[in-house]
Amino acid sequence: MSKQSKKGRAEFSSSFGVIAAAAGSAVGLGNIWKFPYITGVYGGAAFLFVYLGFILAIGLPVMLSEFIIGRKSHRNAFGAFKKLAPKSLWQYIGILGVGAAFMILAFYGVVAGWSVDYVVTALSNGFADQSPDQLAVMFTSFIESPVQPVLYQLLFMVLTGAIVMLGIKDGIERNVKVMMPVLVVIIIILNIRAVTLPGAGEGLRFLFHPDFSKLTGEGVLSALGHAFFSLSLGMGTLITYGSYIDKKNNLLNTAVKVTIADTLIAILAGVAIFPAVFAFGIEPSSGPGLVFITLPNVFQQMPGGYIFAILFFLLLTVAALTSSISILEVVVAYFHEELKLKRKIATIFATALVALLGVICSLSMGIFKDYTFYDLNFFDLLDWISANLLLPLGGLFISLFIGWKFGRKKIRAEIENGGSISELMLSGFIFLVKFIAPIAIAIVFLSGIGLLKI
Ligand code: TRP
Protein backbone atom coordinates (compact mmCIF):
# COMPACT_ATOMS: atom_id res chain seq x y z
CA MET A 1 0.00 0.00 0.00
CA SER A 2 1.36 3.38 -0.76
CA LYS A 3 2.05 5.54 2.24
CA GLN A 4 1.20 9.15 1.68
CA SER A 5 0.99 12.20 3.88
CA LYS A 6 -2.36 13.91 4.45
CA LYS A 7 -2.06 16.18 1.46
CA GLY A 8 -1.17 13.23 -0.71
CA ARG A 9 2.50 14.18 -0.91
CA ALA A 10 4.93 11.32 -1.42
CA GLU A 11 7.12 10.06 1.42
CA PHE A 12 10.00 7.62 1.79
CA SER A 13 8.60 4.46 3.29
CA SER A 14 11.31 3.51 5.82
CA SER A 15 14.24 5.00 7.65
CA PHE A 16 16.59 2.76 5.66
CA GLY A 17 15.01 4.23 2.54
CA VAL A 18 15.73 7.74 3.80
CA ILE A 19 19.34 6.95 4.61
CA ALA A 20 19.94 5.05 1.37
CA ALA A 21 18.49 7.95 -0.64
CA ALA A 22 20.36 10.72 1.18
CA ALA A 23 23.62 8.76 1.38
CA GLY A 24 23.08 7.84 -2.28
CA SER A 25 22.90 11.53 -3.07
CA ALA A 26 26.00 12.31 -1.05
CA VAL A 27 28.13 9.42 -2.27
CA GLY A 28 28.96 10.13 -5.88
CA LEU A 29 31.63 11.21 -8.32
CA GLY A 30 32.69 13.60 -5.57
CA ASN A 31 33.78 10.71 -3.37
CA ILE A 32 35.25 8.33 -5.89
CA TRP A 33 36.54 10.56 -8.67
CA LYS A 34 37.26 13.90 -7.01
CA PHE A 35 38.14 13.20 -3.38
CA PRO A 36 41.08 10.89 -4.14
CA TYR A 37 42.61 13.23 -6.70
CA ILE A 38 42.34 16.40 -4.66
CA THR A 39 43.70 14.52 -1.66
CA GLY A 40 46.60 13.50 -3.89
CA VAL A 41 47.16 17.04 -5.11
CA TYR A 42 47.11 18.62 -1.64
CA GLY A 43 49.40 16.13 0.03
CA GLY A 44 47.32 13.29 1.43
CA ALA A 45 46.54 12.94 5.12
CA ALA A 46 46.94 16.62 6.08
CA PHE A 47 44.20 17.49 3.60
CA LEU A 48 42.09 14.62 4.90
CA PHE A 49 42.26 15.90 8.48
CA VAL A 50 41.21 19.41 7.54
CA TYR A 51 38.42 17.97 5.43
CA LEU A 52 37.17 15.89 8.38
CA GLY A 53 37.15 18.99 10.59
CA PHE A 54 34.98 20.87 8.07
CA ILE A 55 32.63 17.91 7.67
CA LEU A 56 31.99 17.83 11.41
CA ALA A 57 31.88 21.53 12.22
CA ILE A 58 30.13 22.81 9.11
CA GLY A 59 28.87 20.02 6.86
CA LEU A 60 26.87 18.14 9.46
CA PRO A 61 25.10 21.24 10.88
CA VAL A 62 24.22 22.50 7.40
CA MET A 63 22.91 19.07 6.45
CA LEU A 64 20.68 19.03 9.53
CA SER A 65 19.50 22.54 8.60
CA GLU A 66 18.49 21.39 5.12
CA PHE A 67 16.58 18.41 6.52
CA ILE A 68 14.78 20.69 8.98
CA ILE A 69 13.76 23.16 6.26
CA GLY A 70 12.55 20.36 4.00
CA ARG A 71 10.61 18.35 6.53
CA LYS A 72 9.04 21.36 8.22
CA SER A 73 7.78 22.81 4.93
CA HIS A 74 7.05 19.66 2.93
CA ARG A 75 7.94 21.59 -0.18
CA ASN A 76 10.52 21.76 -2.98
CA ALA A 77 13.64 23.90 -2.52
CA PHE A 78 11.91 27.11 -3.64
CA GLY A 79 8.47 26.44 -2.14
CA ALA A 80 10.06 25.60 1.21
CA PHE A 81 11.30 29.14 1.79
CA LYS A 82 8.12 30.60 0.32
CA LYS A 83 6.14 28.68 2.91
CA LEU A 84 8.44 29.20 5.91
CA ALA A 85 9.20 32.88 5.24
CA PRO A 86 6.38 34.15 3.01
CA LYS A 87 6.97 37.20 0.84
CA SER A 88 10.58 37.56 1.89
CA LEU A 89 13.81 37.54 -0.06
CA TRP A 90 14.67 34.15 1.48
CA GLN A 91 12.75 32.37 -1.26
CA TYR A 92 15.40 33.35 -3.79
CA ILE A 93 17.72 30.86 -2.08
CA GLY A 94 15.51 28.25 -3.65
CA ILE A 95 15.86 29.75 -7.13
CA LEU A 96 19.62 29.75 -6.69
CA GLY A 97 19.38 26.08 -5.81
CA VAL A 98 17.32 25.11 -8.83
CA GLY A 99 19.77 27.02 -11.05
CA ALA A 100 22.71 25.25 -9.42
CA ALA A 101 21.01 21.89 -9.92
CA PHE A 102 20.78 22.54 -13.68
CA MET A 103 24.43 23.45 -13.95
CA ILE A 104 25.80 20.71 -11.74
CA LEU A 105 23.78 17.99 -13.38
CA ALA A 106 24.82 19.17 -16.85
CA PHE A 107 28.53 18.53 -16.24
CA TYR A 108 27.94 15.72 -13.76
CA GLY A 109 26.11 13.78 -16.47
CA VAL A 110 29.08 14.21 -18.80
CA VAL A 111 31.57 12.70 -16.33
CA ALA A 112 29.05 9.97 -15.47
CA GLY A 113 28.82 9.26 -19.19
CA TRP A 114 32.61 8.82 -19.32
CA SER A 115 32.37 6.27 -16.57
CA VAL A 116 29.67 4.32 -18.45
CA ASP A 117 31.99 4.29 -21.47
CA TYR A 118 34.81 3.00 -19.26
CA VAL A 119 32.62 0.14 -18.02
CA VAL A 120 32.19 -0.86 -21.65
CA THR A 121 35.92 -0.48 -22.37
CA ALA A 122 36.78 -2.52 -19.28
CA LEU A 123 34.36 -5.25 -20.33
CA SER A 124 36.00 -5.49 -23.74
CA ASN A 125 39.44 -5.61 -22.11
CA GLY A 126 40.31 -2.34 -23.80
CA PHE A 127 43.02 -1.26 -21.33
CA ALA A 128 45.22 -4.31 -21.91
CA ASP A 129 48.68 -3.77 -23.38
CA GLN A 130 48.33 0.00 -23.55
CA SER A 131 51.27 2.10 -22.41
CA PRO A 132 50.60 4.90 -19.89
CA ASP A 133 50.91 7.41 -22.74
CA GLN A 134 48.47 5.49 -24.89
CA LEU A 135 45.98 5.40 -22.02
CA ALA A 136 46.27 9.17 -21.62
CA VAL A 137 45.70 9.70 -25.33
CA MET A 138 42.82 7.25 -25.26
CA PHE A 139 41.10 9.31 -22.55
CA THR A 140 41.68 12.74 -24.04
CA SER A 141 40.74 11.75 -27.55
CA PHE A 142 37.59 10.08 -26.20
CA ILE A 143 36.37 13.09 -24.19
CA GLU A 144 37.15 15.44 -27.08
CA SER A 145 35.30 13.43 -29.68
CA PRO A 146 31.94 14.86 -30.75
CA VAL A 147 29.79 11.74 -30.76
CA GLN A 148 30.64 8.98 -28.31
CA PRO A 149 30.77 10.92 -25.01
CA VAL A 150 27.58 12.75 -25.99
CA LEU A 151 25.77 9.47 -26.56
CA TYR A 152 26.91 8.08 -23.21
CA GLN A 153 25.93 11.29 -21.45
CA LEU A 154 22.47 11.10 -23.03
CA LEU A 155 22.15 7.44 -22.08
CA PHE A 156 23.02 8.28 -18.50
CA MET A 157 20.51 11.14 -18.40
CA VAL A 158 17.75 8.91 -19.78
CA LEU A 159 18.50 6.43 -17.00
CA THR A 160 18.40 9.21 -14.41
CA GLY A 161 15.14 10.57 -15.82
CA ALA A 162 13.53 7.13 -15.94
CA ILE A 163 14.17 6.51 -12.24
CA VAL A 164 12.93 9.95 -11.20
CA MET A 165 9.86 9.55 -13.42
CA LEU A 166 8.76 6.51 -11.39
CA GLY A 167 8.43 8.70 -8.31
CA ILE A 168 9.86 8.97 -4.83
CA LYS A 169 9.00 5.53 -3.52
CA ASP A 170 8.78 3.38 -6.62
CA GLY A 171 11.61 5.12 -8.46
CA ILE A 172 14.15 6.72 -6.19
CA GLU A 173 13.74 4.75 -2.97
CA ARG A 174 13.36 1.35 -4.58
CA ASN A 175 16.47 1.82 -6.72
CA VAL A 176 18.78 3.29 -4.08
CA LYS A 177 17.88 0.48 -1.68
CA VAL A 178 19.46 -1.93 -4.15
CA MET A 179 22.25 0.26 -5.54
CA MET A 180 23.71 1.43 -2.22
CA PRO A 181 24.37 -2.07 -0.84
CA VAL A 182 25.86 -3.07 -4.22
CA LEU A 183 28.14 -0.03 -4.01
CA VAL A 184 29.31 -0.96 -0.52
CA VAL A 185 30.06 -4.55 -1.55
CA ILE A 186 32.06 -3.44 -4.61
CA ILE A 187 34.11 -0.93 -2.67
CA ILE A 188 34.96 -3.52 0.00
CA ILE A 189 36.12 -5.99 -2.67
CA LEU A 190 38.31 -3.27 -4.23
CA ASN A 191 39.75 -2.42 -0.81
CA ILE A 192 40.71 -6.00 -0.12
CA ARG A 193 42.45 -6.19 -3.50
CA ALA A 194 44.30 -2.91 -2.97
CA VAL A 195 45.66 -3.53 0.53
CA THR A 196 46.83 -7.03 -0.32
CA LEU A 197 49.09 -5.80 -3.15
CA PRO A 198 52.82 -5.92 -2.35
CA GLY A 199 53.92 -2.36 -1.55
CA ALA A 200 50.46 -1.21 -0.52
CA GLY A 201 51.74 0.19 2.79
CA GLU A 202 53.18 3.28 1.21
CA GLY A 203 49.81 4.28 -0.20
CA LEU A 204 48.19 3.86 3.20
CA ARG A 205 50.91 5.99 4.79
CA PHE A 206 50.26 8.68 2.18
CA LEU A 207 46.59 8.68 3.10
CA PHE A 208 46.89 8.48 6.87
CA HIS A 209 50.22 10.03 7.87
CA PRO A 210 49.82 13.83 7.78
CA ASP A 211 52.49 16.18 6.48
CA PHE A 212 51.04 19.62 7.14
CA SER A 213 53.82 21.37 5.25
CA LYS A 214 52.18 20.24 2.01
CA LEU A 215 48.87 21.86 2.85
CA THR A 216 48.36 25.21 1.14
CA GLY A 217 45.69 27.87 1.77
CA GLU A 218 44.16 26.80 -1.49
CA GLY A 219 44.05 23.25 -0.15
CA VAL A 220 42.12 24.37 2.92
CA LEU A 221 39.60 26.19 0.73
CA SER A 222 39.15 23.21 -1.53
CA ALA A 223 38.58 21.08 1.55
CA LEU A 224 35.58 23.19 2.57
CA GLY A 225 34.25 23.48 -0.97
CA HIS A 226 34.55 19.76 -1.37
CA ALA A 227 32.85 19.07 1.98
CA PHE A 228 29.82 20.92 0.59
CA PHE A 229 29.87 19.19 -2.75
CA SER A 230 30.40 15.75 -1.28
CA LEU A 231 27.60 16.04 1.26
CA SER A 232 25.24 17.42 -1.45
CA LEU A 233 24.79 20.69 0.44
CA GLY A 234 23.98 24.22 -0.59
CA MET A 235 21.44 23.83 -3.35
CA GLY A 236 18.42 22.28 -1.78
CA THR A 237 18.97 18.61 -2.64
CA LEU A 238 18.58 17.66 0.99
CA ILE A 239 15.77 20.18 1.47
CA THR A 240 13.93 18.39 -1.32
CA TYR A 241 14.73 14.90 0.06
CA GLY A 242 13.96 16.20 3.57
CA SER A 243 10.50 17.13 2.39
CA TYR A 244 9.81 13.44 1.76
CA ILE A 245 10.92 12.38 5.25
CA ASP A 246 8.12 11.42 7.63
CA LYS A 247 7.44 13.21 10.91
CA LYS A 248 8.66 10.31 13.04
CA ASN A 249 12.17 10.31 11.63
CA ASN A 250 15.02 11.35 13.92
CA LEU A 251 16.65 13.98 11.71
CA LEU A 252 19.83 14.39 13.75
CA ASN A 253 20.42 10.66 13.72
CA THR A 254 19.78 10.54 9.96
CA ALA A 255 22.17 13.44 9.30
CA VAL A 256 24.90 11.80 11.41
CA LYS A 257 24.53 8.46 9.61
CA VAL A 258 24.55 10.04 6.15
CA THR A 259 27.63 12.10 7.02
CA ILE A 260 29.47 9.06 8.34
CA ALA A 261 28.51 6.99 5.29
CA ASP A 262 29.69 9.68 2.88
CA THR A 263 32.99 10.21 4.67
CA LEU A 264 33.66 6.53 5.07
CA ILE A 265 33.07 5.85 1.38
CA ALA A 266 35.40 8.70 0.40
CA ILE A 267 38.12 7.25 2.63
CA LEU A 268 37.47 3.75 1.31
CA ALA A 269 37.77 5.11 -2.24
CA GLY A 270 41.17 6.48 -1.19
CA VAL A 271 42.13 3.10 0.27
CA ALA A 272 41.04 1.38 -2.94
CA ILE A 273 43.11 3.73 -5.06
CA PHE A 274 46.32 4.94 -3.36
CA PRO A 275 47.83 1.64 -2.24
CA ALA A 276 47.35 0.36 -5.78
CA VAL A 277 48.81 3.50 -7.33
CA PHE A 278 51.86 3.38 -5.06
CA ALA A 279 52.30 -0.37 -5.47
CA PHE A 280 52.91 0.19 -9.19
CA GLY A 281 55.17 3.19 -8.63
CA ILE A 282 52.88 5.83 -10.10
CA GLU A 283 52.64 9.49 -8.98
CA PRO A 284 49.59 10.08 -6.75
CA SER A 285 49.07 13.72 -7.66
CA SER A 286 47.83 13.16 -11.17
CA GLY A 287 44.70 15.36 -11.03
CA PRO A 288 41.33 14.71 -12.68
CA GLY A 289 42.85 11.98 -14.84
CA LEU A 290 43.56 9.86 -11.76
CA VAL A 291 40.67 7.46 -12.21
CA PHE A 292 40.45 7.56 -16.02
CA ILE A 293 44.15 7.41 -16.90
CA THR A 294 46.14 6.30 -13.87
CA LEU A 295 43.78 3.59 -12.71
CA PRO A 296 43.44 1.79 -16.05
CA ASN A 297 47.23 1.66 -16.00
CA VAL A 298 47.12 0.16 -12.50
CA PHE A 299 44.43 -2.36 -13.48
CA GLN A 300 46.29 -3.70 -16.46
CA GLN A 301 49.31 -4.50 -14.30
CA MET A 302 47.33 -5.91 -11.39
CA PRO A 303 46.56 -9.64 -11.02
CA GLY A 304 42.82 -9.96 -11.71
CA GLY A 305 42.82 -6.45 -13.12
CA TYR A 306 40.25 -7.26 -15.81
CA ILE A 307 37.56 -7.94 -13.20
CA PHE A 308 38.64 -5.14 -10.86
CA ALA A 309 38.52 -2.58 -13.67
CA ILE A 310 34.94 -3.57 -14.50
CA LEU A 311 33.97 -3.42 -10.83
CA PHE A 312 35.61 -0.04 -10.33
CA PHE A 313 33.88 1.71 -13.23
CA LEU A 314 30.61 0.05 -12.32
CA LEU A 315 31.06 1.49 -8.83
CA LEU A 316 31.68 4.93 -10.27
CA THR A 317 28.57 4.69 -12.47
CA VAL A 318 26.28 3.47 -9.69
CA ALA A 319 27.57 6.17 -7.31
CA ALA A 320 26.95 8.81 -9.98
CA LEU A 321 23.44 7.55 -10.69
CA THR A 322 22.24 7.65 -7.07
CA SER A 323 23.50 11.25 -6.94
CA SER A 324 22.19 12.43 -10.30
CA ILE A 325 18.64 11.35 -9.45
CA SER A 326 18.78 13.53 -6.33
CA ILE A 327 19.93 16.54 -8.34
CA LEU A 328 17.26 16.01 -11.00
CA GLU A 329 14.62 15.65 -8.27
CA VAL A 330 15.35 19.24 -7.14
CA VAL A 331 14.35 20.53 -10.57
CA VAL A 332 11.44 18.12 -11.02
CA ALA A 333 9.91 18.89 -7.61
CA TYR A 334 10.18 22.60 -8.43
CA PHE A 335 8.57 22.27 -11.87
CA HIS A 336 5.88 20.01 -10.45
CA GLU A 337 4.90 22.03 -7.38
CA GLU A 338 5.61 25.59 -8.43
CA LEU A 339 4.95 25.53 -12.15
CA LYS A 340 2.14 23.01 -11.61
CA LEU A 341 3.32 20.63 -14.31
CA LYS A 342 2.30 16.98 -14.01
CA ARG A 343 5.17 15.06 -12.45
CA LYS A 344 5.80 13.01 -15.61
CA ILE A 345 5.82 16.08 -17.83
CA ALA A 346 8.02 17.90 -15.33
CA THR A 347 10.50 15.02 -15.40
CA ILE A 348 10.66 14.83 -19.19
CA PHE A 349 11.01 18.58 -19.47
CA ALA A 350 13.72 18.84 -16.78
CA THR A 351 15.68 15.86 -18.11
CA ALA A 352 15.59 17.19 -21.66
CA LEU A 353 16.79 20.65 -20.64
CA VAL A 354 19.60 19.34 -18.48
CA ALA A 355 20.64 16.83 -21.14
CA LEU A 356 20.82 19.59 -23.73
CA LEU A 357 23.01 21.73 -21.50
CA GLY A 358 25.09 18.60 -20.89
CA VAL A 359 25.60 18.07 -24.63
CA ILE A 360 27.07 21.57 -24.87
CA CYS A 361 29.29 20.77 -21.87
CA SER A 362 30.53 17.61 -23.51
CA LEU A 363 31.20 19.35 -26.82
CA SER A 364 33.08 22.10 -24.99
CA MET A 365 35.82 19.54 -24.38
CA GLY A 366 36.39 19.19 -28.10
CA ILE A 367 34.78 21.01 -31.00
CA PHE A 368 33.61 23.96 -28.85
CA LYS A 369 36.91 24.15 -27.01
CA ASP A 370 37.72 27.60 -28.34
CA TYR A 371 34.61 29.23 -26.99
CA THR A 372 35.90 30.27 -23.61
CA PHE A 373 35.04 32.76 -20.92
CA TYR A 374 37.97 33.91 -18.79
CA ASP A 375 39.88 30.92 -20.18
CA LEU A 376 37.23 28.47 -19.02
CA ASN A 377 35.37 26.30 -21.48
CA PHE A 378 31.64 25.78 -20.91
CA PHE A 379 32.14 22.65 -18.80
CA ASP A 380 34.66 24.35 -16.51
CA LEU A 381 32.52 27.47 -16.39
CA LEU A 382 29.46 25.60 -15.08
CA ASP A 383 31.68 23.75 -12.61
CA TRP A 384 33.24 27.02 -11.46
CA ILE A 385 30.00 28.99 -11.13
CA SER A 386 28.24 26.23 -9.23
CA ALA A 387 31.11 25.19 -6.95
CA ASN A 388 32.52 28.63 -6.21
CA LEU A 389 29.42 30.81 -6.35
CA LEU A 390 26.09 29.05 -6.11
CA LEU A 391 26.82 26.30 -3.59
CA PRO A 392 28.64 28.52 -1.09
CA LEU A 393 25.96 31.21 -1.42
CA GLY A 394 23.23 28.63 -0.98
CA GLY A 395 25.00 27.12 2.04
CA LEU A 396 25.58 30.56 3.52
CA PHE A 397 21.92 31.54 3.28
CA ILE A 398 20.67 28.16 4.47
CA SER A 399 22.75 28.38 7.63
CA LEU A 400 21.81 32.03 8.16
CA PHE A 401 18.15 31.11 7.72
CA ILE A 402 18.24 28.41 10.37
CA GLY A 403 20.62 30.36 12.63
CA TRP A 404 18.93 33.75 12.56
CA LYS A 405 15.43 33.47 11.16
CA PHE A 406 13.87 30.09 11.90
CA GLY A 407 13.87 30.29 15.70
CA ARG A 408 15.25 28.14 18.50
CA LYS A 409 11.86 26.74 19.52
CA LYS A 410 11.03 25.51 16.06
CA ILE A 411 14.50 24.03 15.61
CA ARG A 412 14.10 22.13 18.86
CA ALA A 413 10.60 20.98 17.91
CA GLU A 414 11.81 19.68 14.55
CA ILE A 415 14.84 17.87 16.02
CA GLU A 416 12.78 16.43 18.89
CA ASN A 417 10.14 15.17 16.52
CA GLY A 418 11.32 11.58 16.56
CA GLY A 419 14.53 12.31 18.43
CA SER A 420 15.90 14.25 21.35
CA ILE A 421 18.52 16.91 21.96
CA SER A 422 20.05 18.40 25.10
CA GLU A 423 20.07 22.14 25.74
CA LEU A 424 23.85 22.16 25.30
CA MET A 425 23.77 20.35 21.95
CA LEU A 426 21.03 22.61 20.69
CA SER A 427 23.04 25.70 21.63
CA GLY A 428 26.12 24.19 20.01
CA PHE A 429 24.23 23.50 16.79
CA ILE A 430 22.76 27.00 16.70
CA PHE A 431 26.18 28.55 17.36
CA LEU A 432 27.64 26.61 14.43
CA VAL A 433 24.95 27.63 11.95
CA LYS A 434 24.71 31.18 13.26
CA PHE A 435 28.41 32.07 13.21
CA ILE A 436 30.93 29.39 12.32
CA ALA A 437 29.39 28.08 9.09
CA PRO A 438 28.53 31.51 7.61
CA ILE A 439 31.97 32.94 8.40
CA ALA A 440 33.83 29.94 7.03
CA ILE A 441 31.66 29.86 3.92
CA ALA A 442 32.07 33.62 3.40
CA ILE A 443 35.86 33.22 3.48
CA VAL A 444 35.75 30.42 0.93
CA PHE A 445 33.35 32.37 -1.23
CA LEU A 446 35.39 35.58 -1.22
CA SER A 447 38.60 33.79 -2.00
CA GLY A 448 36.85 31.66 -4.62
CA ILE A 449 35.90 34.78 -6.53
CA GLY A 450 39.32 36.31 -5.93
CA LEU A 451 38.31 39.09 -3.52
CA LEU A 452 40.28 37.61 -0.65
CA LYS A 453 43.80 36.28 -0.90
CA ILE A 454 44.82 33.47 1.40
N1 TRP B 1 27.34 14.74 -3.52
C2 TRP B 1 27.43 14.23 -4.83
C3 TRP B 1 28.86 13.75 -5.06
O4 TRP B 1 29.65 13.72 -4.18
C5 TRP B 1 27.01 15.22 -5.88
C6 TRP B 1 25.77 15.97 -5.55
C7 TRP B 1 24.51 15.49 -5.47
C8 TRP B 1 25.71 17.33 -5.21
N9 TRP B 1 23.66 16.47 -5.08
C10 TRP B 1 24.37 17.61 -4.91
C11 TRP B 1 26.65 18.29 -5.11
C12 TRP B 1 24.00 18.87 -4.50
C13 TRP B 1 26.28 19.57 -4.71
C14 TRP B 1 24.98 19.85 -4.39
O15 TRP B 1 29.21 13.38 -6.14
Instruction: Print burial letters for 4-31: b (CB count within 10 Å at least 16), e (below 16).
Output: eeeeeebbbbebebbbbbbbbbbbbbbb
Report CA(205)–ligand 1 centroid distance (Å): 28
What pTM was computed for the model? 0.94
> Contacts by 49-56 with C-beta closer than 8 Å and gap 24+?
49/210, 50/215, 50/219, 50/220, 50/223, 51/223, 51/226, 51/227, 52/263, 54/223, 54/224, 54/227, 54/440, 55/227, 55/231, 55/259, 55/263, 56/259
User: Among the atoms of ligand 1, which is closest to the Cα of residue 237?
Assistant: 12
SS3 assignment for the chain: CCCECCCCCECCCCHHHHHHHHHHHHCCHHHHHHHHHHHHHCCCHHHHHHHHHHHHHHHHHHHHHHHHHHHHHCCCHHHHHHHHCCCCCCHHHHHHHHHHHHHHHHHHHHHHHHHHHHHHHHHCCCCCCCCHHHHHHHHHHHHHCCCHHHHHHHHHHHHHHHHHHCCHHHHHHHHHHHHHHHHHHHHHHHHHHHHCCCCCHHHHHHHHCCCHHHCCHHHHHHHHHHHHHHCCCCCCHHHHHHCCCCCCCCHHHHHHHHHHHHHHHHHHHHHHHHHHHHHCCCCCCCHHHHCCCHHHHHHHHCCCHHHHHHHHHHHHHHHHHHHHHHHHHHHHHHHHHCCCCCHHHHHHHHHHHHHHHHHHHHHCCCCCCCCCECCECHHHHHHHHHHHHHHHHHHHHHHHHHHHHHCHHHHHHHHHCCCCCCHHHHHHHHHHHHHHHHHHHHHHHHHHCCCCCC
Q: How far apart are CA 38 and CA 34, in angstroms?
A: 6
Q: Phi/psi at 98 (nearest 5 deg)?
A: -65, -40
Please report the pLDDT score of residue 54 as a whole number: 94
Q: Phi/psi at 180 (nearest 5 deg)?
A: -65, -45
Q: Phi/psi at 248 (nearest 5 deg)?
A: -85, -10
Report CA(229)–ligand 1 centroid distance (Å): 5
Q: Per residue of the chain (454 residues), what is the pLDDT tens digit?
A: 344 444 578 999 999 999 999 999 999 999 999 999 888 888 889 999 999 999 999 999 999 999 999 999 999 999 999 999 999 999 899 999 999 999 999 999 999 999 999 999 999 999 998 988 899 999 999 999 999 999 999 999 999 999 999 999 999 999 999 999 999 999 999 999 999 999 899 999 888 888 888 788 888 888 988 999 999 999 999 999 999 999 999 999 999 999 999 999 999 999 999 998 888 888 776 677 889 998 998 898 888 999 999 999 999 999 999 999 999 999 999 999 999 999 999 999 999 999 999 999 999 999 988 888 888 899 999 988 888 789 989 999 999 999 999 999 999 999 999 888 999 999 999 999 999 999 999 988 888 777 887 6
User: Among the atoms of ligand 1, which is closest to the Cα of residue 236?
Assistant: 12
> Which domains does the chain possess?
3-448 (1.10.4160)
Please report the pLDDT score of residue 4 as a whole number: 46
Using alpha carbons only, what angle is made at residue 202 by residues 280 and 115, rounded to the nearest 5 degrees?
55
Q: Are 268 and 129 in contact (CB under 8 A)?
A: no
Q: How far apart are CA 175 and CA 234, in angstroms?
A: 24
Q: State which of 259, 323, 384 you would mutate to test the pocket of ligand 1, scoring each by most atoms of that ligand within 8 A of its C-beta.
A: 323
Cβ of 186 less than 6 Å from ligand 1:
no
Please report the pLDDT score of residue 3 as a whole number: 45
Cβ of 398 less than 6 Å from ligand 1:
no
Measured over the CA atoms of residue 261, residue 26, residue 56 and residue 239, the dihedral's sign is negative
Contacts of 205 (CB under 8 A, 6+ apart): none
Burial label for 303, CB within 10 Å (0-12, 13-18, 19+), is exposed
Nearest CA to ligand 1 atom 6: 232
Q: Please provide the distance, in angstroms rounded to a whole number, between the alpha carbons at the two ends of the chain.
A: 56
Measured over the CA atoms of residue 32, residue 33, residue 35 and residue 41, the dihedral's sign is positive
Report CA(232)–ligand 1 centroid distance (Å): 4
Q: How far apart are CA 399 and CA 200, in angstroms?
A: 41
Please report the pLDDT score of residue 285 as a whole number: 61
Measured over the CA atoms of residue 413, residue 415, residue 418 and residue 422, the dihedral's sign is negative
Report CA(189)–ligand 1 centroid distance (Å): 24
Q: How far apart are CA 178 and CA 199, in angstroms?
A: 35
Cβ of 25 less than 6 Å from ligand 1:
yes
Q: How far apart are CA 437 and CA 235, in angstroms?
A: 15
Report CA(29)–ligand 1 centroid distance (Å): 8
Report CA(399)–ligand 1 centroid distance (Å): 18
Nearest CA to ligand 1 atom 12: 232
Cβ of 324 less than 6 Å from ligand 1:
no
